[in-house]
Amino acid sequence: MLTQNNADTSAVSVSIRDKSIDSLLESEWLLTNSRGGFASGTILGCNTRRYHGLLVGTHTPPANRIAALSNCLETVNRKSGSFSISNFEFDHALHPNGYERLLEFRKDAGVHFEYDLDCARLTKSIYLLPDSDILAISYSFTNVTEIFEFTIRPFAAMRDFHSLQHSHAALTSVWDDEQLSIATDDESMGRLSLYCREMRFEQSPEWWHRFFYRVERRRGQDCFEDLWSPGVYRKRIKGRRQFVFWAGLFDANHPQETLSKMDLSTAIDAISLHEKQLLKAAEPTDNVSRKLILAVDQCVIERTINEQIAPSILAGYPWFLDWGRDTFIALEGTCLCTGRHDEAWGVLKTFADAVSEGMVPNRFDDYGNKPHYNSIDASQWFVHAAFRYLEATDDRKNFCNTLLPAIKWIMDSYRKGTRFGIHADADGLITGGDIDTQLTWMDAKHEGIAFTPRYGKAVEINALWYSNLCCLAEYYKSKDSDDSTWHDLAEQVRHSFQQLFWNESKGYLNDCILPTGKADSSLRPNQIFAVSLPFTPLNIKQAQKVVDVVQKHLLTPYGLRTLADDDPRYKRQCTGSMGQRDAAYHQGTVWAWLIGPFIEAYLKTHGFDPTAKRQCRGFLAPLIKHLDESACIGNISEIFDGDDPHTPRGTYAQAWSVAETLRAWQLCQKE
């Protein structure tokens, strides 16, 4: 049962005794830093993914992430016998069974595990420093009734975090009488350093084989890993005692003495100060907002471009980096709704500086900083986010000097033509791509098959195009400019949009118009943007019909389905191999982020009246419960199965899922 911690209204605690082992292995936790590094695992302490680990860091934030410290074997040695409080899984068998000693899990600024050792009470707390790849594990023993020995055997992976480690790898350790350094023959991995002032280290290197990761098998991936341990740390416990086990991932530029100078109270103060500053800037008026603000913070990171550090927004943990589309959909909820205007400006400037041929990057490479431009909508979402930034901050200087030139370059390029055949057709509508491309957000592709290619004129692309044209026209109107170019084009687009996309016989918008002129009338959620965006090409009756049909056929407790469930292509679950999951990704799977535009569209068509706001808070309630109780505690998942019970899938902490939930929640609170 989940309960609130009275000391911190954003903290969540989980009582272990009334939970099944399988449910505990499905409940996860996440701590992050500003570098894109993280610590993650299950609330049972057992790793079930290749991405779980006590320390995952990077030398080139946020790319090239390295799984450094995987886990630890923690053992109590008494006169009457020994037992471990740790949990690992090997070929479907949990060993050892430390969960039998676990009483409670809590998450706030760190994560905390409470154990009953019979001879003592143990609180194990894990903290990740906010601005460096340094981890602290605090062990606090109370109610000690006899003398016993406590040991820690660390397990190192030292590998690319997408891969798995095996015992043929060359891992070595060096002990300098104070600090242990672990490295591989690949110098780019740097070194994992371990330090504990109060524990004695004994070298006894060994490989442990075939750790099993159940989530990887479920996803059709390799699921066995070997991990290396350099030896054992030992401490005799005589009475009440607290000590800290430190771990850090470093490159050659960091001095060896770093960990020996660390102090736990200083580290906790740094984390607490960061959270206080976040909440002061955001000024949340309720506990739900507070939780969501802390959740979106985990995705605000720093990226190194041309040796300069700039803010960015990570699309999701554990495996995504920053994607242009995700970044600018999430920017309003992540930065503008939370008062983080400096970060919003930094993100916009980073991408404005990277505009090429009138396009912002769809993503930066996982193993470097090379930009990729394979998206038709990321650039239009950038324009939308830039105008939202101007509205929220009135920062006209930066907008005019940096953002407006990028906006005009994008809009002119979309009008005249850019990559992938993207251009404005004779009717003013944007078209682009072909049957082999996946340029919209429905971009799943496997072995050359684009499952939802949506080439030609996609409904949300042209809804964005129209709204952005109107924003530009309004901007120049406010400047008393007599240039009517953007206004005239917007009027043409509004008329063409009505002609091509409105399907009178079905009472909703076509999803896509193929280059042949044939309409794809699949009932999908993309049409909701024609209502939710600042400017709509629809009349009031059409807008209401769109909201009604989306509510009736696509709305679920956790977001919108990507395809109506009566469509023969509908996929009930997003499970199986990568190919099977990609085939279901946008063919019925529920996406949480779509709750944001739906809520906004619903409120707009209901005049933002109090009854509508109460109804929308009801729509959001299951996602708020999910934030507290399922998948990754304190986060919102990327996707959910289309069919009940809508099992969460995909990344367990998705930026736009949390950001759009926060934005929608705030829309429901406004007077």
**Residue 3: inside a domain, yes or no?**
no
Weakest-pLDDT range from 203-207, 259-263, 604-608: 259-263
Per-residue pLDDT for 607 more than 50? yes
- Find out whether 451 and 444 touch, Cβ atoms under 8 Å: yes
Which residues contact residue 614 at a Cβ distance below 8 angstroms, ignoring those fewer than 6 apart? none
Tell me if residue 173 falls in helix, strand or coil: strand
The pTM (predicted TM-score) of the whole model is 0.95
Q: Which two tokens stand for residue 554?
A: 């696509």
Tell me whether residue 543 is in a domain: no
- Asked whether residue 357 carries a pLDDT value surpassing 90, the answer given is yes
Q: Is 227 a residue whose pLDDT tops 80?
A: yes
Contact residues for 610 (Cβ-Cβ < 8 A; gap 6+): none
What are the residue ranges of helices labelled H in 192-309? 214-218, 264-282, 287-297
Do 451 and 352 reside in the same domain of the chain? no
Helix (H) or strand (E) holding 610: helix 610-629
Please check whether residues 464 and 505 belong to one and the same domain: yes
Give the helix/strand (H/E) hosting 613.
helix 610-629
Q: pLDDT tens-digit profile of 616-643? A: 999 999 999 999 999 999 999 999 999 9
- Least confident range from 3-17, 197-211, 545-559: namely 3-17
For the residues of 332-380, what is the DSSP string, one character each? IIIIITTT-HHHHHHHHHHHHTT-BTTB--SEE-TTS--EE---SSHHH
Residue 548 lies in a domain: no
What's CA 1's distance to the chain center, in Å?
25
Q: Can you tell me the distance from the alpha carbon of 148 to that of 399, in angstroms, rounded to the nearest whole number?
A: 64
Are the beta carbons of 148 and 77 closer than 8 angstroms?
Answer: yes
Rg (CA), the chain: 26
One domain, residues 509 and 561: no
Average pLDDT of the segment spanning 202-211: 96
φ/ψ of 611, rounded to 5, equals: -65, -45
Is 450 within the bounds of a domain?
A: yes
From the centroid of its chain, how far is CA 555?
A: 22
Reply yes or no on whether the pLDDT at 543 is more than 70.
yes
Tokens of 586: 């946008």
Please tell me the number of Cα atoms within 13 Å of 362 on its side-chain side.
12
pLDDT at 10: 65
pLDDT tens digits for range 404-424? 999 999 999 999 999 999 999
pLDDT beyond 80 at 257: no
What per-residue confidence (pLDDT) applies to 478?
87
C-alpha–C-alpha distance, residues 211 and 595, integer Å: 38
- Asked if residue 593 lies in contact with residue 656, where contact means CB atoms within 8 angstroms, the answer is yes
Cα separation, 370 vs 367, whole angstroms: 8
356 and 469 fall within a common domain: no
Q: How far apart are CA 336 and CA 296, in angstroms?
A: 12
> In the chain, what percentage of residues exceed pLDDT 90?
88
| Whether residues 355 and 440 fall in one domain | no
Give dist(CA 648, CA 641) in Å, integer.
7
Nearest-5° Cα angle at 408, 402 to 413: 130
409 domain-assigned: yes
Structure tokens at 576: 């199986």
Residue 4 has pLDDT above 90, yes or no: no
Residues 236 and 293 in one domain: no
Selected residue with higher pLDDT from 229 and 372: 229
Which range marks the domain in which residue 480 is found?
427-537
DSSP label of 532: H
Do 148 and 235 belong together in one domain? yes
Q: What is the C-alpha to C-alpha distance for residues 164 and 157, in angstroms, rounded to an integer?
A: 8
Residues 375 and 504 in one domain: no
How many C-beta neighbours within 10 Å does residue 11 have?
Answer: 17
In this structure, is residue 7 part of a structural domain? Answer: no
| Whole-Å CA distances, 123 to 102, 112, 113, 242 | 10, 7, 6, 9
Q: Assess whether 502 and 568 both reside in one domain.
A: no
Per-residue pLDDT, 12: 81
Look at residues 493, 509, 537 and tell me which one is the last residue of a structural domain.
537
* Residue at 489 is within a domain: yes
Q: Match 């943990």 to its residue by tokens.
A: 317
475, 481, 485, 489: CA torsion to nearest 10: 40
Tell me: do 77 and 173 sit in the same domain: yes
* 544 within domain boundaries: no
* DSSP secondary structure letters along 493-527: HHHHHHHHHEETTTTEE-SEE-TTS-EE----GGG
Residue matched to tokens 């026209």? 473
| Whole-number pLDDT of residue 7 | 43
Query: The CATH number of the domain where 159 resides is what?
Result: 2.70.98
Query: Over 90: is that where the pLDDT of 484 sits?
Result: no
Same domain assignment for residues 516 and 596:
no
Portion of the chain with pLDDT greater than 70, in percent: 97
Q: Are strands 134-142 and 241-250 parallel, antiparallel or unpaired?
A: antiparallel
Lowest mean pLDDT among 145-159, 164-178, 593-607: 164-178
Segment 284-320, tens digit of pLDDT: 999 999 999 999 999 999 987 777 889 999 999 999 9
Q: In the predicted model, what is the mean pLDDT of residues 240-266?
A: 89
Beta bridge partners of 202: 232
Task: Dump strand ranges (E) for 79-179.
Answer: 81-84, 87-90, 93-97, 102-107, 111-116, 121-128, 134-142, 148-160, 171-175
The C-alpha atoms of residue 113 and residue 138 are separated, in whole angstroms, by: 10
Count of domains in the chain? 4
Q: Which residues have a Cβ under 8 Å from the Cβ of 505 and sit 6 or more positions away?
A: none
The pLDDT tens digits of the residues spanning 179-190 come to 899 999 999 999
Cα–Cα dist 220/223, whole Å: 9
Range among 3-12, 441-450, 479-488 rated most confident: 441-450
Q: Where a domain ends, among 474, 503, 537?
A: 537
Burial group, residue 222, by CB count within 10 angstroms (0-12, 13-18, 19+): exposed
- Mean of all residue pLDDT scores within the chain: 94
pLDDT digits (tens, 9 = 90+) for 63-99: 999 999 999 999 999 999 999 999 999 987 899 989 9
Q: How far apart are CA 87 and CA 363, in angstroms?
A: 37
Last residue of a domain, one of 223, 241, 273: 273
> Are 442 and 419 part of one and the same domain?
no
